[in-house]
């Protein structure tokens, strides 16, 4: 059974499916979570505090997902291809994650504004962490890369680290600039909500990256 904090974050996230963040009311979030408004404010301090917590949870879920996918029993290149595919697929359906990865925050989303300077630190450890801020797109990519390298266990080294970063940057390129629709409307671009994973193409490119001789002085990366 989720804690009150998780229930509140789940309720806030669910509210975003039908409303912009500006229209989400704390009283409705508390009611949907089955807790009092006082409990909500005890946990988050304010609506902005809840926004920071919601975005922090999304960042943490993404990093945990990277670790999980990379740790699967398969060759490293297949696991990294799976991470890229998973990243693109998740970004299609999770607007907050997409904003975290790209830095493009729409008006419908809970933009994680910094806590006010001089504000009293929250008594809730998880909220203190959320109030400290969320990673920038570059920071998130770096954290994901480092977790991927660690999850590969014995496959350490600069070449592996470089490959992890290239694979993640490739995935982000598909999130930022999705592939065009193929069919009667060739050349048009899909709306973000209807993007489709480009698994075969991405896997092929990643296989090419891993086939490059990274010990060569030229260090050619396609």
What is the per-residue pLDDT across 87-117, written as a single tens digit (0 to 9) for each?
988 998 899 999 999 999 988 999 988 888 8
Q: How far apart are CA 88 and CA 167, in angstroms?
A: 11
Q: How many angstroms separate the first and last alpha carbons of the chain?
A: 48
Q: Which of 59-68, 144-153, 163-172, 200-209 has the highest mean pLDDT?
A: 59-68
Per-residue b or e along 128-155, where b marks 16 or more CB atoms closer than 10 Å to that residue's CB? eebbeebbebeebbebbbebbbebbeeb
- The CA-based angle 34-2-18, given to 5 degrees, is 60
Beta bridge partners of 189: 180
180 phi, psi to nearest 5 deg: -70, 155
* pLDDT tens-digit series, residues 167-213: 999 899 888 887 655 554 544 444 444 444 455 566 666 666 666 54
Residue 14: how many other CB atoms lie within 10 Å = 14
- The CA-based angle 199-203-205, given to 5 degrees, is 120
Cβ 96 vs Cβ 183: under 8 Å: no
Beta bridge partners of 174: none
Q: How far apart are CA 82 and CA 65, in angstroms?
A: 11
Per-residue pLDDT, averaged over 127-142, amounts to: 94
Q: How far apart are CA 214 and CA 2, in angstroms?
A: 47
Supply the pLDDT for residue 75: 84
195 phi, psi to nearest 5 deg: -60, 150
């Amino acid at each position: 059974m989720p804690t009150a904090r998780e229930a509140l974050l789940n309720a806030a996230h669910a509210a975003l499916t039908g409303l912009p963040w500006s229209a989400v009311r704390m009283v409705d979030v508390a009611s949907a979570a089955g807790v009092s408004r006082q409990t909500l404010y005890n946990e988050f301090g304010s609506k902005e505090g809840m926004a920071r917590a919601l975005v922090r949870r999304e960042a943490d879920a993404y990093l945990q997902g990277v670790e999980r996918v990379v740790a699967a029993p398969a060759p490293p290149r297949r696991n990294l291809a799976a991470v890229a595919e998973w990243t693109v697929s998740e970004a299609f359906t999770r607007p907050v994650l997409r904003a975290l990865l790209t830095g493009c925050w729409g008006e419908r989303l809970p933009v994680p504004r910094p806590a006010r300077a001089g504000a009293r630190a929250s008594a809730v450890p998880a909220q203190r962490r959320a109030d400290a801020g969320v990673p920038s797109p570059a920071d998130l990519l770096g954290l994901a890369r480092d977790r991927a390298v660690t999850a590969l266990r014995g496959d350490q080294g600069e070449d592996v680290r470089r490959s992890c970063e290239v694979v993640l940057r490739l995935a982000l390129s598909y999130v930022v600039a999705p592939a065009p629709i193929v069919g009667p409307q060739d050349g048009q671009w899909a709306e973000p909500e209807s993007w489709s994973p480009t698994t075969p193409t991405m896997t092929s490119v990643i296989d090419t990256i891993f086939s490059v001789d990274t010990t060569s002085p030229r260090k050619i990366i396609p």
